[in-house]
Amino acid sequence: MKAFRFFIVATLVSLSTASIADDDAKIEAAKQAAAETCMTEALERYDSATAISEARKYNKSGMRGYYVDFKVGKNNKKVRCIAQKNGKILITSK
């Protein structure tokens, strides 16, 4: 009986761990896609861009997605690029 309980507990723990790993992989892929999209958009607008932060979760005023901070242009102006989940890209001055 104890062996059966141990088997069930071990199975449930392994299933939940696998689910968490899949979610982490999806989040990292979304962050990477947002960073790449923002970099191309910043390069198109300002000709030069350097990322000064990693992609982070953004959730403000109903807009969800990820943001990355950049230094752009000749004067190293700081801007924030927001890649929304619906596909829109916003670049705002900091």
Say what the pTM is. 0.72
Radius of gyration of the chain (CA): 20
pLDDT at 87: 87
Give the containing element (helix H, strand E) for 87.
none
What tens digit of pLDDT does each residue of 3-59 get?
545 445 445 455 455 555 567 888 889 889 999 999 999 999 999 999 999 999 999
pLDDT at 9: 46
